[in-house]
Amino acid sequence: MILWVGIAGAKCVNHGNRVIERSVEVLTGASDFTYHSLWNLAHFAVPDDLSGVLIPGCTTLGEPALQQFFQRLPENVPAYVLGGCFWDKYHRRRLGPNPDVLARPNIHIGSRDPYTITVLGERGIVTPLVGCPTVRYNPNPALETPSFPLVISFGRQTLPDDFWGNARSKYGDWSTWGVLLHEGVDKNHLPPEFPGTILRLFDMDPDDVFKVYQKAGQVISGRLHGVLPSAGRVPTLYYGDRRDTRNTLLDALGINYGPPEWVLGESPTLQTPKEMPEFQPFLEEMREGLGLT
């Protein structure tokens, strides 16, 4: 039995995690597994027939429930984390109660970003830099999904007051735009008179989310999983906080970004992400270790 530790669900308000899960599912070829949510993992009873554990990355490494589970995991059961990271916003370290458990020999981590490489390295844990699997995933090109000249998705930062006026003068008729809400609160960034199409990620198949981004004429996003499916495919403009350690992935990929005010003077550009040469070897090791080959 392979246990899939789910990172999406009712307790995760960021539904972009469903996009991560779909890319991992397809890239690993995992299909026969038992799904259990990370948010309920602390009390999960480890079954006798457990043969492996798959964690589809994201900001999971500092989660207390995952670390507690790893402490209870038998040493002969391998666990693989594809694109896992710590999220220490504004450099307030949130490493969990026992980050040293990640050094156990049966825990195999492919780190998502350089910050995580550094944090684990401080504990003597050497991991490859694999990035995020969403950069690698290409859904079926024949999918029937809407196409918009501009797709916008909001981050958690406040947009400048003149964002909408600036955008309308630069990108034309806003009734043709698509806005993709990753979280319910994202709707608070929308002016009440917005005439375009509003899409809610929670209501969509993850493949359709990928295609909405990849078929757009241009993308403006404050979401990491708005820019990663888009980068190298369509002109993209990402705004984010440089104190947010997750964005060290963008530094490694060579993707330019700035604060919300920065987008007023910039326009989306086609930025091809740098290769992550350690991704494919780790993926193959993971598939072999979990018996997915």
pLDDT for the residue 168: 96
Q: Is residue 10 part of a domain?
A: yes
pLDDT for the residue 234: 95
Question: 3-state DSSP call for residue 43?
Answer: helix
126 shares a domain with 7? yes
198 shares a domain with 83? no
β-bridge mates for residue 37, sequence order: 6
21 shares a domain with 120? yes
Question: 221 and 152 in contact (C-beta within 8 Å)?
Answer: yes
71 shares a domain with 11? yes
Residue 252: its H or E element: helix 248-253
pLDDT for the residue 91: 63
Q: Is residue 141 part of a domain?
A: no
Residues 6+ apart with CB under 8 A from 237: 218, 219, 220, 221, 263, 266, 267, 268, 269
203 shares a domain with 116? no
195 shares a domain with 94? no
201 shares a domain with 83? no
CB-based burial label for 257 (10 Å; 0-12, 13-18, 19+): buried
CATH number assigned to the domain comprising residue 237: 3.40.50.720
Q: Is residue 53 part of a domain?
A: yes
Question: 3-state DSSP call for residue 276?
Answer: coil
pLDDT for the residue 90: 65
Q: Is residue 136 part of a domain?
A: no
- Dihedrals φ, ψ of 6, to 5°? -75, 140
Q: At residue 35, what is the residue type?
A: Y
Where do the DSSP E strands lie in 134-263? 150-153, 178-181, 197-200, 218-221, 236-239, 257-258
β-bridge mates for residue 238, sequence order: 221, 257
Q: Is residue 170 part of a domain?
A: yes
12 shares a domain with 78? yes
111 shares a domain with 13? yes
In which domain, by residue range, is 281 found?
Answer: 2-131+277-289
The whole-angstrom separation of Cα 135 and Cα 44 is 31
The whole-angstrom separation of Cα 52 and Cα 4 is 9
87 shares a domain with 30? yes
Number of domains into which the chain is organized: 2
Q: What is the pTM of this model?
A: 0.94
Question: 230 and 153 in contact (C-beta within 8 Å)?
Answer: no
282 shares a domain with 185? no
pLDDT for the residue 13: 56
211 shares a domain with 120? no
pLDDT for the residue 220: 97
pLDDT for the residue 152: 98
C-beta atoms surrounding 274 within 10 Å:
13
pLDDT for the residue 94: 81
CATH number assigned to the domain comprising residue 91: 3.40.50
* Regions of the chain short of the pLDDT cut 70: 9-14, 90-92, 141-143
User: Per residue in 89-137, pLDDT tens?
Assistant: 766 678 998 999 999 999 999 999 999 999 999 999 999 999 999 999 9
